[in-house]
Each structure stands twice: as structure tokens, then as C-alpha cells.
Amino acid sequence: MDQLLECEKCSRKSPPARSECLYCGAPLAGAVDRSRPIRKMPRILDEWEKGFNVVVKPIANQTGRFERVNVEEIAAELDLVVDDLIKLFSANVPFPAARVESSAEAEAISAVLREYGVETEVVADQKLGLSSPQKRVRAVAIKGGSISFTLFNTGDVENFSSEDLKLIVTGSVFEKTIETVEKHSKKHTNKTLNIGHTARDQRMIDVYAGNEMIGYRIIPTGFDFSALGAEMSILATENLQKLFVKLSNCIANGEAINGYDEIRNSLTNIWSFEEVNSTKGVTKKGVGNVNVARQTIVTNLNQFTRFSRLCRQFI
């Protein structure tokens, strides 16, 4: 990367790609014209929109990366929180630095990141195959180097060897439900009468085998943990973790990733949690007055699926 330029006003250093000081805004003498403006990040895309992800590639040596990368400057370029970006770099997994509308815009952002020594790849939402669900598994059997999955709905059994295992990803998926009752009066004033909260959280495992980009999904509900034998606990959460370890030990040439929970909040800058709002009912209360019941459901299920599929693109 080109040598940083010292600001004549505040004496702090900024990258030569900038025409103004990163800290005080003063013009920088000797700045290189790279024919691009200072990055102003575009709007955050809605979940349903088809976008292009600027993905930072994982590398084994994170210490080497931090020697080459000024995280504060990258965060300023991308309008991200420094602490979140540090978490994502430290996780040593592929992660999105931006999600934008066009491939041209994604390539422009990639070019900026390359100036900081960051290796990236543009991955379209379409390539993640998000319209195709993971294949839910009802039971697992492990015998020697052979593994079989019994599918949840059909009962079909799919077999493969430990050599075929490419990737196992585990993480927690939450669902929060907020229910409110509002009083709407003829005076056009609204009043919240009641608010209720419910929440559930469960871990799950995604497994990818062979050349498939669509994985198998293991959810505790309705799953048969008998493959654990004497190790099986009465707690589904413990059983799922034991199964993750057991499957991870079967991997011959792939990887097992269990750090999603530590970075899921940091990922919301690019992949926000899904929020669904609905009206549950309207009840008349006197002349001109009605009570409206509303429900909001917030979940990270789509984000976890995106993360899982993205990891598969690089492993």
C-alpha cells in the first residue's frame, strides 16, 4: 500500500487515496488521484432485494492481516463500526464488507479495499441460492467412515463418506415476538394498552457434503439423537453440541465453524435481522374507537443461512 500522507494541519496520517484528511478534513498535499470519490456507502438493501456482496476472504494468519490493514481507515471508508470490523477480521471466516445493488458498485468497493491489502470477492445473492431451503435432517447414523442422513419430511436416506464432508457450521437462531394492542380513538390519538414479549433461541447445524452448495440442516426439534449412544443427554442443546463435535471429528478434508454467535450482531451492519410486521385483529370499542392488535417477529434465521452458504462458497 502506498505510504500514508501526513496532514499539515493536524499532523495525523491518512491514506493517499483520500484528497482530504481523514480526521480534520483539511486538504492533503501530495494525495494521489485514483479517479474515485471518498466512499459514501449506499443505502442498506432490503432482505428481499437481489444484491451483490463484497466478501472479505478468510486467511489463516490474522496477525499478518492486521499488520497490513488499518481497520479504522477501512471502517471510515465503509461507514462501519471499528469494533465490529475488528471482530469480523478476527473470526477468520468470510464476511460481507458491503451489500450493494450492482456488480459495478461492488467491484468499485473491492478496488478500495485492495488498496488496503484486503483480498475480496464479489458474491451475488443469487449465487447463495437463498430461494432453495436447506434439507432438514431427522436422524444421523455414523459408522466407521460412513455417514447417513435421514431427511425429515420424506424419510429418504442419503449416504456419503467422511471424505465427502466439506463443511459444518453451527450457530444459534433466535425468534423474538412482540405483540401490542393499541387504542385508536376518533380524536386521532393512539394509546398503547398492552405489550407482550416472547423469545426462543435454538442452536442448529448445517452440513455440506460433496460438491453440493445446498446443505443439510439439523434442528433439535423433532431430531433423533440416538447416534450419540451413551453420550446422549436429556438436554437438546447439549446433544446438539455433542453431535457437532462428533461430526467435526469425522471431517477428513473440510472445516468446522462454530464462531457465528460471536459475530452475528456485527454482521447486522450488512445483513440485518429479518423483521416481519402484521396486524392480528381489529376490535371496535365504542363509537369511533377501535383496538388494533399488532405482531412483530424478529429473527436472524436468514442471516445464519446467508453466513452458512457464504462459508460454503469458500470451502
What pLDDT is recorded for position 36?
Answer: 45
Q: State the Cα angle at 15 between 9 and 17, rounded to 5°.
A: 110
Q: Do 19 and 159 fall within a single domain?
A: no
What pLDDT is recorded for position 183?
Answer: 79
Cα separation of the two ends of the chain:
28
Q: Do 85 and 187 fall within a single domain?
A: no
pLDDT of 5-40, one tens digit each? Answer: 788 888 877 765 566 676 777 777 765 444 443 355
Exposure string of 216-227, with b = 16+ CB inside 10 Å and e = fewer, is: bbbbbeebebeb
Residue type, 270: I
Domain hosting residue 90, numbered range: 40-128
Strands 165-184 and 255-257: parallel
Position 69 confidence tier, pLDDT thresholds 50, 70, 90: low
Q: Do 73 and 168 fall within a single domain?
A: no
pTM tops 0.85, yes or no: no
For residue 105, give every residue at least 6 positions away whose Cβ sits within 8 Å of its Cβ, in sequence order, or none: 42, 52
Contact (Cβ atoms closer than 8 angstroms) between residue 129 and residue 208:
no
Q: Do 84 and 189 fall within a single domain?
A: no
Q: Do 155 and 168 fall within a single domain?
A: yes
What pLDDT is recorded for position 172?
Answer: 97
Q: Do 295 and 150 fall within a single domain?
A: yes
CATH number for the domain spanning 124: value is 3.30.1390.10
Q: Do 51 and 141 fall within a single domain?
A: no
Of 70, 94, 128, the residue at which a domain comes to its end is: 128
DSSP per position, the chain: -PPPEEPTTT--EE-TT-SB-TTT-PBPTT----S-PPP---PPPPTTS--EEEEEPP-S-HHHHHHH--HHHHHHHHT--HHHHHHHHHTTS-EEEEEES-HHHHHHHHHHHHTTT--EEEEEGGGGTTTSPPEEEEEEEEETTEEEEEETTT--EEEEEGGGEEEEEEEEEEEEEEEEEEEE-TTS-EEEEEEEEEEEEEEEEEEEETT-SS-EEE-STT-B-GGGGGG--S-HHHHHHHHHHHHHHH-SS-EEE--HHHHHHHHTTTSPPEEEEEEEEEEE-STT-EEEEEEEEEE-HHHHHHHHHHHHHH-
Question: What's the rounded mean pLDDT across residues 68-83?
Answer: 84
Q: Do 149 and 198 fall within a single domain?
A: yes
- The structural domain count of the chain equals 3
Q: Do 50 and 144 fall within a single domain?
A: no
CATH number for the domain spanning 25: value is 2.30.30
Q: Do 190 and 272 fall within a single domain?
A: yes
Q: Do 14 and 155 fall within a single domain?
A: no
Q: Note the Cα 35 to chain centre separation in Å.
A: 32
Q: Do 202 and 234 fall within a single domain?
A: yes
What pLDDT is recorded for position 17?
Answer: 53
Position 127 confidence tier, pLDDT thresholds 50, 70, 90: very high
Q: In 3D, which of 102, 217, 249, 91 has the Cα closest to residue 151? A: 217
What pLDDT is recorded for position 73?
Answer: 85
What pLDDT is recorded for position 18?
Answer: 61
What pLDDT is recorded for position 38?
Answer: 39
